[in-house]
Amino acid sequence: MSSLAALILSLYLFSAVVSETVILRHEDIPKSLSHSIDTELIKSCAKKFLNENGKQDLDFFRKVYLPRCLSGTLDLDAQPQGYSSGKSPLHHAAENGFVSEVKDLLTNGSNKDLKTNDGFTALHLATKNGHNDIVRLLLSHGAAIYTTSNTGETALHYAALKGNEEAAELLLNNGANLEGKEKNGYTPLHLASLLDYPKVEQLLLSRQANINARSYSNRTSLHLAALRGNIESVKLLLDNGAEIEAKDRDGLTPLHLASFNGHTRVVELLLSRGAVIDAKDKLGRTPLHYSAMAGQAHVTRLLISKGADKKVKDLNNETPLVLAILNSQEITTRIIIASGQSET
């Protein structure tokens, strides 16, 4: 068995599902190879990396894959019939951070842009799992940077999702698409804002990412940051010119979303930057309607103290007080009544 074949076999064994059983029986290993594979290490690592494909793969390794390795007829990118993930040895190596193995596989001609059944390339998997040395290595070998997964993500989307600033910079330096959209219409900036990674956001903005790019629900990055209560991201986006009154497909502004979700600090910040306190969505509802109906006591008090209209009616002729009552929100009902509005 060649050292490369031993390497490939080891990579698959790392991902086999195990309990307390022996991953590779000693009788399966030729004596000439006994010095090449540390079976105890393989067993230990395999227990950490459970494979979604099930225990039946172990029989495949023993009965089919190992003989092919021994015969030297192994296709580096071949997949066994019925193998559910579609992962090649390079995918496994990139996903688990095996730098030298990735280097060997690339040197020996492994397809660097092969996709799994989910549409992931080795570059996707390395980026997603924070293996930046492998990201760098794949890029140096010309890995395709614009490739998207089945749900539309590029590697840059995954760098943003994970807050991986180093990988994001590597990808951008190699021409990654700043404005690519995944299944929800989110750009990398949307995702970094949603998950509150200001350093990645700042990097993307420094490379001229569109700060007001719209998702398929017409939301901006500021909408997502406000929705999640990500105060640092909200501040960064506002400082860089984000549209504070942007409306999504339902007519909701960032202030509506922050109010409904009870993010008091974000509400305070948006108001201090000039957000319209009585902005109306397509139902004619203001942020106070939303905080009242959601039972957000602190935000309701804040909005009232800042002059929100307590008597404003939506398209159903309902005030914030009515919505609080209809939604059984006793606390916000009391707050509105105590503030001076007892009529509905």
For residue 278, the enclosing domain spans 244-344
Q: State both tokens at 202.
A: 């700042």
Q: Would you place residue 340 in the very low, low, confident or very high pLDDT band (cuts 50, 70, 90)?
A: confident
pLDDT tens figures, 190-216: 999 999 999 999 999 999 999 999 999
The beta strand positions in the chain, using DSSP E, are none
Phi and psi, residue 209, nearest 5°: -60, 145
Give, as one character, the DSSP assignment of residue 158.
H
The count of structural domains within the chain is 2
Q: Tell me the percentage of the chain whose pLDDT exceeds 70.
A: 74
Of the residues 33, 54, 75, which one is the last residue of a structural domain?
Answer: 75
Lowest pLDDT segment from 93-102, 214-223, 244-253, 331-340:
93-102
Q: What is the pLDDT of residue 107?
A: 85
Inside any domain, residue 154 = no
252 domain-assigned: yes
Which band of pLDDT confidence, cut at 50, 70 and 90, is reported for residue 21? very low
Helices 264-272, 297-305: crossing angle, 10 deg rounding: 20
Average pLDDT over residues 47-64: 39
Say which residues have a Cβ less than 8 Å from residue 270's Cβ, sequence separation at least 6. Answer: 226, 234, 238, 244, 254, 255, 258
Question: What is the rounded CA–CA span in Å between residue 224 and residue 290?
Answer: 17
**CA 155 – CA 99 distance, rounded (Å):** 18
pLDDT reported for residue 59 = 43
At which of 75, 96, 125 does a domain end? Answer: 75
More confident residue, 101 or 115: 115
Q: Which of 19, 44, 75 is the last residue of a domain?
A: 75
Residue 312: Cβ within 10 Å count: 16
Rounded Cα–Cα distance for residues 239 and 215 (Å)? 21
* 29-43, 83-97, 263-277: least confident range: 29-43
Inform me whether the pLDDT recorded for 323 exceeds 70: yes
Whole-number pLDDT of residue 30: 41
Greater model confidence, 94 or 264: 264
In a domain, 167, yes or no: no
> What is the per-residue pLDDT for 184?
98
- Across the range 1-5, mean pLDDT stands at 46
- Does residue 330 sit within a domain? yes
Contacts of 273 (CB under 8 A, 6+ apart): 238, 244
pLDDT band at 67 (very low <50, low <70, confident <90, very high): very low
In a domain, 81, yes or no: no
Lowest mean pLDDT among 64-73, 184-193, 244-253: 64-73
Q: Please determine, for residue 9, whether its predicted confidence score (pLDDT) is greater than 70.
A: no
Residue 268 within a domain: yes
* Mean per-residue pLDDT of the chain: 83
Mention every residue, 6+ apart, whose C-beta is less than 8 A from residue 214: 185, 220
pLDDT at 121 over 60: yes
Q: With bands split at pLDDT 50, 70 and 90, how would you rate the model's confidence at 303?
A: very high
Question: Is 127 contained in some domain?
Answer: no
Judge contact between 332 and 300, C-beta under 8 A.
Answer: yes
**CA 233 to chain centroid:** 16
Q: Is residue 103 part of a domain?
A: no
Query: What per-residue confidence (pLDDT) applies to 108?
Result: 79
CA-CA distance, 66 to 62, in Å (whole number)? 6
State the CATH number of the domain containing residue 263. 1.25.40.20
pLDDT surpassing 50 at residue 1: no
